[in-house]
A and B are shown apart, each in its own frame.
Chain A
Amino acid sequence: MGEENVPASIVQFAQLDKLLNLGRANSLWPMTFGLACCAIEMMCTGGSRFDISRFGAEVFRPSPRQSDVMIVAGTINKKLELAVKTLYDQMPEPKWVIAMGNCAICGGPFKVKENYNVVEGADKLFPVDVYIPGCPPRPEALLEGIMMLEEKITGKRRWPRVQPG
């Protein structure tokens, strides 16, 4: 049988973890953290046409204490860097980050040789779970990002993945 590598936690609540993850996946409460143009697309996603509340994610909590997902929608620049880090640290533990838009992924259109003020990418500040490319990404892309995050949390994908092309 060979030796068994004992899992980190002594008691493994396999089933309970699955249930908790399912609960967490279905009620991701994003924090209202709109910086720039992507924030408008985030509001459109909350609108009636692309309705983010179908996935239980419509409660946009203003305070970082009660939110699970930080959707970084926009450009982080050097003056805001400290504020963004503090907000990330204030969020209670099972927290995820969605980098929405090219600015949050890699500085986007402002990643130029004379860039003196833009932080090139949110992952320079904290670990990012899902990247949504686009400038600004379409609301459907944000919904796909949330479904990808749910797949990352629960391991199962809710809807069939759309094959490109």
Chain B
Amino acid sequence: MTVPVHLRHDETFVLNLGPQHPATHGVLRVKLTMDGEYIVKAEPVLGYIHRMHEKMAENGTFAQFMPNTARMDYLHALAFNHGWALVVERAAGIEVPERAEYIRVITVELNRIASHLLWWAAFLLDLGGFTPLLYAFDDREKIIDLLERVTGSRLTYCYLRFGGVYNDIDDEFIAGTRDFIKRLRGRMPRLYHDLVTHNIILIKRIKDIGFVTAEQCRRYGATGPVARGSGIDYDIRKNEPYSVYPEFDFDVPVFTEGDSMARYMVRMHEMEQSMRIIEQALDKLPGGPVMGKAPKVLKPEAGYYYSAVETARGSLGHRLVCNGDKNPYKLKLRSPTFSNLSLFGEVAEGMLLADALAFMGSLDLVIPEIDR
């Protein structure tokens, strides 16, 4: 509900929501032209954590770029691994065994829940509530332990290989995942919904704040929970199925209001859907090898390749151009938050500073993914 107010455009001052600011969760600078506490013009300035991923892709071989993918969006690193593995497997024509595909889906969905938990914690930290962070981290640590057993690292996973996965999952991982899901399902209604979602202060804080229309999403290219919060039923796992997602039945939560509350509810329901996918994947887990045969040095055929993967923040695209030798000729990473943030300037006009920060929190930004 942007307060309808006549903004005096002459007496404004420029406030730097500077590179170092508790609410930007990283180094995003937003140049705000303010009139009192109302924002007249907001212009994000990027590039404070630009780490040359695309230049490194061109100078390293295909396999050497896998660790880089995890350092772009470290909250959903496995989806980035998955996107990179997918585009290279398409280009080089490598087969992935059935079991490896299932393990990929299980670990990616677990990582998605961990990413949504951390978004939920950071979003409520922006709104002033400090305690939910600790409870969300409590659950997230359980997922990190599970994934650490299998992948070896806590945050920046480098678990996928072209043609399969690094190592197999054992029964203890499966048992651990099952009772994690039971535990989170038990806590979700009581702790996450009753204590926080139905809290009147939170509802007042994010309801009717930051309206994003479907047309705006289309013109700015916003995808993921931001688009699904504005009524666009677009989830790459359903619209452009890849890996073994067609074998699971899960539905895509879509809300039509388009305000921060809608985006909040989309992500909360997505956690539930991810748990459904994991359970079905664990039930139908086939046997067999986890690593297909892939040539040591990959020389994919020259041409233009594109793969899109659904990360927690939206559609991650890899535009790969190969010219036949062992390292990629050109790799463009279409990062979802880059487009989601581009509509911040238009939506945040006329909002209060506190509401604009609540809106930015609901966009779920990871800055190194924007700056690449």
The answer, yes or no, to whether B292 is at the interface (CB within 8 Å) is no
Bound-complex Cα distance A32 to B26 (A): 10
B56 contact from A37, A48, A79, A114, Cβ within 8 A: A114
Is A36 interfacial (CB 8 A cutoff)?
Answer: yes
B18 to A118, Cβ gap below 8 A? no
- What residues of chain A lie closer than 8 Å to B154, measured between beta carbons? 41, 44, 136, 138
User: Which one, B22, B48, B59, B156, contacts A80 given CB within 8 A?
Assistant: B48
Q: Is the CB of A49 within 8 A of B141?
A: yes
B126-151 contacts to A, CB under 8 A, are 133-134, 137-138, 141, 144
In the assembled complex, B74 has its CB within 8 A of some CB on chain A? yes
Once bound together, how far apart are the Cα atoms of A109 and B48, in whole Å?
Answer: 17
Are A77 and B155 closer than 8 Å at their CB atoms?
no
Set of chain B residues within 8 Å of A74, measured between Cβ atoms: 49
Q: Which residues of B are found within 8 Å of A44, using beta-carbon distances? A: 137, 141, 144, 154
Are A40 and B75 within 8 A (Cβ)? yes
Quick one: which of B50, B141, B155 contacts A136, CB cutoff 8 A? Answer: B155
**At the interface, yes or no: A35 with Cβ under 8 Å from chain B?**
yes
A117/B137 contact (C-beta < 8 A), A34-B26, A83-B19, A135-B156 known: no
Tell whether A116 is near chain B: CB-to-CB under 8 Å: yes
Instruction: Name the one of B19, B20, B47, B137 contacting A48, with C-beta atoms under 8 angstroms.
Output: B137
Task: Give every chain A residue within 8 A of B20 (Cβ-Cβ).
Answer: 32-33, 83, 87
Give the Cβ gap from A20 to chain B, nearest Cβ, in Å. 28
* Given A32-B20, A136-B156, 7 further pairs, Cβ under 8 A: A37-B155, A40-B118, A43-B133, A44-B141, A79-B50, A83-B48, A117-B52
Q: Are A43 and B137 in contact (CB under 8 A)?
A: yes
With both beta carbons as reference points, the residue of chain A lying nearest to B47 in the complex is identified as A79
Measured between beta carbons, the chain A residues less than 8 angstroms from B74 are 36-37, 40, 136
A155 within 8 A of B: no
Contacts of A109 in B (CB 8 A): 67-68, 71
Give every chain A residue within 8 A of B51 (Cβ-Cβ).
Answer: 36, 75, 77, 110, 117-118
Q: B25: CB under 8 A from chain A?
A: yes
Q: Is the interface of A mostly helix, strand, loop or mixed?
A: loop
Residue pair A48, B22 in contact (C-beta under 8 Å): no
Contact assessment for A48 and B155 in the assembled complex, using a CB-CB cutoff below 8 Å: no
Judge whether B333 is part of the interface by a CB distance below 8 angstroms.
no
> Complex: how many Å from CA A148 to CA B22?
27
Kindly state the interface size class of chain A when it binds its partner: 20 to 34
- Minimal beta-carbon separation of A71 from chain B (angstroms): 12
Q: Main SS of chain B's interface residues?
A: loop
A35 engages B27 (CB within 8 Å): yes
Give the complex CA separation of A116 and B59 in angstroms: 13
Question: How far does the alpha carbon of A141 sit from the alpha carbon of B21 in the complex, in Å?
Answer: 25
Cβ–Cβ contact A116 & B55, under 8 A = yes
0/1 string, A12-52, CB within 8 A of B gives 1? 00000000000000000000111111011101100111000
CA distance A113 to B25 in the complex (A): 30
Q: How far is the CB of B46 from chain A (nearest CB, A)?
A: 9
Q: Which residues of A have CB within 8 Å of B144?
A: 44
Contacts of A118 in B (CB 8 A): 51-52
Q: What 1/0 mask marks residues of chain A from 96 to 117 whose CB sits below 8 Å from any chain B CB? A: 0000000000000110111111
CA distance A79 to B51 in the complex (A): 11
Q: Is A56 an interface residue (CB 8 A)?
A: no
Taking CB atoms, residues of chain A closer than 8 Å to B18 are: 83
| Cβ contacts under 8 Å, A62 to chain B | 21-22
Which of A33, A36, A49, A79 has a CB less than 8 Å from the CB of B368?
A: A36
Instruction: Give the docked Cα–Cα distance between A34 and B21 (Å).
Output: 9
Question: What would be 8 A-B contacts, judged by CB atoms less than 8 Å apart?
Answer: A35-B49, A40-B75, A44-B137, A48-B137, A48-B138, A80-B19, A135-B156, A136-B154
B136 vs chain A, min Cβ distance (A):
9
For A49, give the chain B residue with the smallest CB separation: B141
In the complex, the answer to whether B71 meets A114 with C-beta atoms within 8 Å is no
Q: Give bound CA distance, A38 to B268, whole Å.
A: 26
Residue of B nearest to A39 (CB): B26
Closest to A83 in B: B19
Q: How far is the CA of A102 from the CA of B22 in the complex (A)?
A: 23
Residues of chain A within 8 A (CB-CB) of B47 are 79
Question: Are B134 and A48 within 8 A (Cβ)?
Answer: yes
Say yes or no: A47 contacts B155, CB within 8 Å.
Answer: no
